[in-house]
Amino acid sequence: MAPLSQPSRPLPGDDLGLGTRPGPGRSVNKDGTFNVRRLGLPTFRGYELYHSLITMGGFRFLGLLFLGFLATNALFAAVYLSIGMDHFVRPGGEGRLDRMLDAFFFSAQTLTTVGYGHISPKSHLVSAVAALESLLGLLSFALATGLLYGRFSRPHAQIRFSAHGVVAPYRGITGFMFRFVNRRSNQLIEVEATVSLSYLDGESDTRRFVTLPLERSKINLFPTSWTVVHPIDEASPLAGMTDGNLRKAQAEFIVLIKAFDDTFSQSIYQRTSYTADEVLWNHRFKPMSAFGADGVTEMEVDQLDATEAADV
Amino acid sequence: MAPLSQPSRPLPGDDLGLGTRPGPGRSVNKDGTFNVRRLGLPTFRGYELYHSLITMGGFRFLGLLFLGFLATNALFAAVYLSIGMDHFVRPGGEGRLDRMLDAFFFSAQTLTTVGYGHISPKSHLVSAVAALESLLGLLSFALATGLLYGRFSRPHAQIRFSAHGVVAPYRGITGFMFRFVNRRSNQLIEVEATVSLSYLDGESDTRRFVTLPLERSKINLFPTSWTVVHPIDEASPLAGMTDGNLRKAQAEFIVLIKAFDDTFSQSIYQRTSYTADEVLWNHRFKPMSAFGADGVTEMEVDQLDATEAADV
Amino acid sequence: MAPLSQPSRPLPGDDLGLGTRPGPGRSVNKDGTFNVRRLGLPTFRGYELYHSLITMGGFRFLGLLFLGFLATNALFAAVYLSIGMDHFVRPGGEGRLDRMLDAFFFSAQTLTTVGYGHISPKSHLVSAVAALESLLGLLSFALATGLLYGRFSRPHAQIRFSAHGVVAPYRGITGFMFRFVNRRSNQLIEVEATVSLSYLDGESDTRRFVTLPLERSKINLFPTSWTVVHPIDEASPLAGMTDGNLRKAQAEFIVLIKAFDDTFSQSIYQRTSYTADEVLWNHRFKPMSAFGADGVTEMEVDQLDATEAADV
Amino acid sequence: MAPLSQPSRPLPGDDLGLGTRPGPGRSVNKDGTFNVRRLGLPTFRGYELYHSLITMGGFRFLGLLFLGFLATNALFAAVYLSIGMDHFVRPGGEGRLDRMLDAFFFSAQTLTTVGYGHISPKSHLVSAVAALESLLGLLSFALATGLLYGRFSRPHAQIRFSAHGVVAPYRGITGFMFRFVNRRSNQLIEVEATVSLSYLDGESDTRRFVTLPLERSKINLFPTSWTVVHPIDEASPLAGMTDGNLRKAQAEFIVLIKAFDDTFSQSIYQRTSYTADEVLWNHRFKPMSAFGADGVTEMEVDQLDATEAADV
């Protein structure tokens, strides 16, 4: 495993900001998040609120909105009830439930500014609370408008990586390869790839990082798929390595993709990693693209993970 | 056709991400989209929804909004009818159609929060459904607000390319040229052009890509028009080529323009291509700009495509 | 005027995209717009609408909104009148003006979704038109919301340039200088300056462009003011020039400033130009900054244009 | 203090735009703002309004909204009262206070478009004012929507710097170090650091700036913390310096961090500075990260400032 025996201090540019002593598991999860837990932060962090509301799942977000709507109406209904329902002009019954529900629905009609008017304030006190509630309603829905737009317009890369990396024949030698497609209809251009190898140095028991040279690290247009290739030549840290070596060294290929979204004029980053267990040796990717009868290139996106055995 | 006989593997940087085996037709359409079809994707793709709603035509978008409005009201009208119109205070008639339309318009008045009140809930059940509907209405219009803004504020480059490229005299030799203007009033600056030639190699029957050197590949300001020039000197892959050669090799000039929109602080990309059929040999562009009587430069945008014969 | 006699073809990078034959007046106006008029465009250009609505003056924008509100209400009032005011429940009088105004204000109450209900639809036809109008109202105000936000959040550089450039003593020789400040409270960083000299070549009667080397072309932070200096050394195209020479050659210094707005995370560009008439020879800028009693640097923004005579 | 005795004119690139004659205090405050006061600006500056409304504290912003709501209603109430409350259909009493409050609450119900209708216009004059008010209400809440979204979506870096810099042992020599963490859950990538030393030159009594070379000036990923190191080798301007020297020279380490926010696709800058008083000599940072039992890296954010004595 000589090629992996490099100086114990990473060279400038080779450090990924992951530190030199990560744990036994993977540093970067398949979805690109880091395998890091942050402790000692205050429980409530106001500056996380927007981030949470923007990134949480859609159903959870709508559920929160609905719960907030119910809670606000319940709160104002309690205020109206404590003032007394005789402060209202209303056609409804005088039972306890009738009064409670009338207060609740008057609140809802005020908060949403629908204001039918069949229940309406009779006293100035109720008018004042209702004015406050309608202001609160407008501001809340202003907030919801902003959040919904923020959720929608946030850059959503839909780059899908092949499930496995492969070590396959490449121009007389072999190469480490993976591929990815853009699942969205938006145009990605100026796509750049960076691949780093992280591995445990058996001698010093520390983790090391090497940036792997690529056959090509940038493409201008990205209409179909891109197979990123690290040629395993003599200078490669993978030269002479086997499947078993890589597993023993707890190797991890860390992938960073950068692109420009032409439709929304935004830079987009996506990360993933391949552990030694996720690399198929002596396999190659099957072609994904062919010509349709009408001369249009056809890309079969569901063939992204398709590989076949290849003798090296 | 010697200058086109290059090594069969594209050099790094020459690959446009279009793959080396595109079909017989053009790779890039005139409007800059790729001639690629993606298969194997699920029919419904949630992540495409925002993209579709933002990029579809304006009338289609408004039509969808209107249909959604009708459908939502029809749905809630059905709920109100199933509860029974005797749960409403309403001045209307008791015919079947009267009841249906009253339910529909009560729904519309609730969804839009206009809430006149001449039709109003009599029972708590109707009040509850109406509260839900007004909440839904506010959120829907919040969404519509975000979408309308997203549609409006999306970068819209209005670069218009000349219909044809030309091969015209240029400083004693000839050059391949095309030109373009910015049709919008916004200021584009730091405009960059990249031109690649894609052609079929007769010997190996594969497509090759060459980046063409330009007389100038970037201009700082872009007040009028820009004629991009690839000088056909001895080193040019077009040296010694004829109109017939180009057509036979199914040549395609792929153009990528990058600019910065000064008004909206956004990077803008636009693509197009010229096939061999779209290149006029021994023609040159007529001037588009002249001085007005008041010393102001006048650019005649509708002269963009104007060419005239030129002896080489 | 030897130093200005350069080869008649601008070097790559020296061309600003202004063409080599601008008219007698200035190429770039003081406010940074180009002195160019575009002809031959269609009268109505949909793609300019958003741009116009975002960049027009605030009062004009509000005026347009108000006129649109009046016109829409007038239109719907006409529809309601043609249906007949007997299709409404309303307390108002039966005079012609009463009916017209009731129709107008019912429209206004529907468009804004205020919906008091003292005027309300009696027939289904009016209900249908009113439902349409309230939908239109919501969408229109959604648009207005987006436009107001777009107007507000658009990058607004408030760089103010000194009214004059000066030719002042500089390290034993002289230099062409101008200065500018940021009038806003936002932080500009990574500020870059590019200065080009455009002049009429007396021999060939064409305009030429030279990029002027600067003492410093970028500063990282921009807390106060920046005096940009082109040292007039022997290599400078201004070496040996006089005020009269510059005027005769219709010289124009074209300035392009690029910066990053730290507060809103946007790149900002601003342009201006100094004609020969706007250059003061043998003047220098008075200092704008001094220390306050409390150790804080004090910048007197209104001293931006202050110069004083300086013997060269 | 020889290494600090550099030529009195800063080299290009070393100037931070702070000028060469700052006062006795610090140039950059701990929160990254500049220690500069701008005079001579007009009292009211429209172009600052958006900036102020976006950057002011949340409670102050909500307070302003509430005051604006009260003031607008008071204004319109005054208009309605001057027209006369007999122009309204209303159930309320005829006392002076009753009429005033009815006018106020009718205004509130119009401005928020809640429009119950129990108070409604009887005359056309009141209808006209109410139509104007509801238009104003919608536009105001459109503005509020935009402002709330602008406040939320503004890039908020939550980089927290260590309270002190340290001079600690580093690879056989010593180094000036500080560290920082990202307190937010968003991913920062391509993080760059620039550190400049500002100090008073005893001989010429002017302030000078030197950019300090760093062990590493950029990291690709930033999952935990980053300790920035300036090695104090022989070429360092700090070579041979002591705590006392630095204080006497009023030294200030000015730090500029640039990063890309992966979640919101925005460039983020943050600044801070360390004065000589804020540098601990012969101290080093305690580790912040360790492995959890489950192999996840655990970072203790509240240990950011923890240092311990270190013999050099």
Q: pLDDT tens digits, residue range C89-131?
A: 988 788 999 999 999 999 999 999 999 889 999 999 999 999 9
In the predicted structure, residue D74 carries a pLDDT above the cut 80: yes
- Numbered ranges of CATH 2.60.40.1400 in chain D: 157-309
Cβ of C115 within 8 Å of Cβ of B109? The answer is: yes
72-91 in D: which are within 8 Å (CB) of A? 73, 91
Give pLDDT, residue C50: 80
Q: Which amino acid is at A96?
A: R
- Hey, is D78 helix, strand or coil? helix
DSSP H or E stretch at residue C190: strand C188-201
Choose among D115, D118, D291: nearest Cβ to A89: D118
Give pLDDT, residue A13: 40
CA–CA dist C213, C170 (Å, integer): 14
Beta bridge partners, D260, equal D189, D267
Give pLDDT, residue D291: 72
The predicted-structure confidence for A270-282, as pLDDT tens digits, reads as follows: 999 999 999 999 9
Cβ of D117 within 8 Å of Cβ of B117? The answer is: yes
Q: Is B273 on the interface with C (CB under 8 A)?
A: no
In the predicted structure, residue B91 carries a pLDDT above the cut 90: no
- Numbered ranges of CATH 1.10.287.70 in chain D: 46-153
CA–CA dist B170, B160 (Å, integer): 23
Q: With pLDDT > 70 as the criterion, what percentage of chain B qualifies? A: 90
The predicted-structure confidence for A193-222, as pLDDT tens digits, reads as follows: 999 998 887 766 677 888 999 999 988 888
- What mean pLDDT comes out for the span B248-261? 91
Asked if the interface predicted TM-score (ipTM) of this complex is over 0.95, the answer is no
Q: Which residue of C has its CA nearest to D25?
A: C295
Q: Considering the domain D157-309, what is its CATH architecture?
A: Sandwich (2.60)
203-222 in B: which are within 8 Å (CB) of C? 215-216, 218-222
* Least confident segment among A178-182, B223-227, C3-7, D275-279: C3-7
Q: Which amino acid is at B136?
A: L
DSSP secondary structure string, chain A?
A: -GGG---SSPPTTT--SS-S---SS-SB-TTS-BSEEEES--S--HHHHHHHHHHS-HHHHHHHHHHHHHHHHHHHHHHHHHH-GGGEE--S--SHHHHHHHHHHHHHHHHTT---SSSEE-SHHHHHHHHHHHHHHHHHHHHHHHHHHHHHHS----EEE-S-EEEEEETTEEEEEEEEEE-SSSPEEEEEEEEEEEEE-TTT--EEEEEPP-S-SEEEE-SSEEEEEEEE-TTSTTTT--HHHHHHTT-EEEEEEEEEETTTTEEEEEEEEEEGGGEEETEEEPP-EEE-TTS-EEEEGGGTT-EEE---
Chains contacting D with at least 3 CB pairs below 8 Å?
A, B, C
- Numbered ranges of CATH 2.60.40.1400 in chain C: 156-309
DSSP H or E stretch at residue D3: none
Cβ of B117 within 8 Å of Cβ of D113? The answer is: no
Q: Is D116 on the interface with B (CB under 8 A)?
A: yes
* Least confident segment among A31-45, C106-120, D65-79, D212-226: A31-45
CA–CA dist C27, C250 (Å, integer): 11
For residue D74, the chain A residues in CB contact (below 8 A) are none
Number of CB atoms found within 10 A of residue C27's CB: 23
Residue C20 — pLDDT band, cuts 50, 70, 90? low
Residue C224 — pLDDT band, cuts 50, 70, 90? confident
Choose among D37, D54, D131: nearest Cβ to C296: D37
- What mean pLDDT comes out for the span C132-141? 93
In the predicted structure, residue D166 carries a pLDDT above the cut 50: yes
For residue C110, the chain B residues in CB contact (below 8 A) are 114
Give pLDDT, residue A1: 33
Q: Which residue of D has its CA nearest to C100?
A: D124
Strands (E), D183-235: 188-201, 206-211, 218-221, 225-232
In the predicted structure, residue D274 carries a pLDDT above the cut 90: yes
Q: Is C10 on the interface with B (CB under 8 A)?
A: no
If one looks up domain D46-153 in CATH, what number appears?
1.10.287.70
Most confident of A294-298, D172-176, D287-291: D172-176
Cβ of A38 within 8 Å of Cβ of D301? The answer is: yes
CA–CA dist B65, B60 (Å, integer): 9
- Hey, is C18 helix, strand or coil? coil
If one looks up domain C156-309 in CATH, what number appears?
2.60.40.1400
- Hey, is B196 helix, strand or coil? strand
Cβ of A152 within 8 Å of Cβ of B149? The answer is: no
In the predicted structure, residue B99 carries a pLDDT above the cut 90: yes
30-69 in A: which are within 8 Å (CB) of D? 33-41, 45, 47-48, 50-52, 54-55
Buried b (16+ CB within 10 A) or exposed e, B11-46: eeebbbbbbeebbebbbbeeebebbbebeebeeeee
To the nearest 10 degrees (0 to 180), the angle between helices D58-83 and D96-111 is 120
Q: Which amino acid is at A148?
A: L
For residue B13, the chain A residues in CB contact (below 8 A) are 216, 218
Asked if residue A259 lies in contact with residue A192, where contact means CB atoms within 8 angstroms, the answer is yes
Strands B297-300 vs C36-39: parallel, antiparallel or unpaired: parallel
Cβ of A115 within 8 Å of Cβ of D118? The answer is: no
Question: Which of D118, D192, D217 to substitute to test the interface with A, most A CBs within 10 Å?
Answer: D118
130-159 in D: which are within 8 Å (CB) of C? 130-131, 134-135, 137-139, 142-143, 145-147, 149-150, 154-155
DSSP secondary structure string, B142-179?
A: HHHHHHHHHHHHS----EEE-SSEEEEEETTEEEEEEE
DSSP secondary structure string, C127-177?
A: HHHHHHHHHHHHHHHHHHHHHHHHHHHS----EEE-SSEEEEEETTEEEEE
In the predicted structure, residue A8 carries a pLDDT above the cut 60: no
Give pLDDT, residue D5: 35
pTM: 0.84
Give pLDDT, residue A9: 38
